[in-house]
Amino acid sequence: MTGGIGAGKSTAAERFSELGARVVDHDQLARRVVDPGSAALSDIVGEFGDRVVSGGHLDRASLAAIVFSDAHARARLEEIVHPYVRAAASAADRQARGDGVSVVVHDIPLLVETGQGGDFDLVVAVTAPLGVRVARLQEGRGLSHDEAMNRVLAQASDADRAAVCDVELDGAGTVEHLRAQVDEFWSAHLP
């Protein structure tokens, strides 16, 4: 499952989980792989310096200020972090299958950007218009309009996501509407 920031992926992922899927959240994995003392954090500090660390932890705000205003820096960060996230996701997938879980949903915001569109049996994209996504980021995360726009525009376009997805869910409406779409999709496509 993919979709742009603020499109409604978290709502869809929560509903998939309630229906019995094991959700592998790649954003959570990306946070975990940069824990204090991790190889990924060491690599990030090697690239960006101590200014992105505070008290031994990744200073996300400092790093965001760098990478969301510099495409080269963002690409370098992704080159560092994505292999660690993929390894952690692969381990989580093996664990789920070993536990007998029949449906594993990988929640991957940067599916297109990381070239993983063809790696899954079925790709679902949660979509919402730009204005809705920006408003959600401003309201839910306290970002300024410019910060929200920079984050949205740093990701793949809706057209790029549509090119790799099998099914689109409309995340622009209410939570209930999106949850109902997940239910319909589950009934039509999954056990």
pLDDT, the chain, mean: 95
Number of residues that this document lists for the chain: 191
54-103: per-residue pLDDT in tens?
999 999 999 999 998 899 999 999 999 999 999 999 999 999 999 999 99
Tens of pLDDT, residues 2-20: 999 999 999 999 999 999 9
Work out the number of other CB atoms within 10 angstroms of the CB of residue 180.
Answer: 14
Of 89, 93, 103, 123, the residue nearest 16 (C-alpha): 103
pTM: 0.89
Q: Does 126 score more than 70 pLDDT?
A: yes
- Give the model's confidence band at 154: pLDDT under 50 very low, under 70 low, under 90 confident, else very high: confident
As a three-state string, the secondary structure of 68-106 is CCCHHHHHHHHHHHHHHHHHHHHHHHHHHHHCCCCCEEE
Side chain identity at residue 18, one-letter code: E
User: Selecting from 3.40.1390.10, 3.90.340.10, 3.40.50.300, 3.40.430.10, what CATH number does the domain 1-21+103-191 have?
Assistant: 3.40.50.300
Domain boundaries, the chain: 1-21+103-191, 28-102
* Three-state secondary-structure class, residue 55: coil
Q: Which helix (H) or strand (E) holds 6?
A: none
The distance of Cα 133 from the centroid of its chain, to the nearest Å, equals 14
CA 52 to chain centre: 21
Q: Which residues of 95-107 are buried (b: 16+ CB within 10 A; e: fewer)?
A: ebeeeeeebbbbb
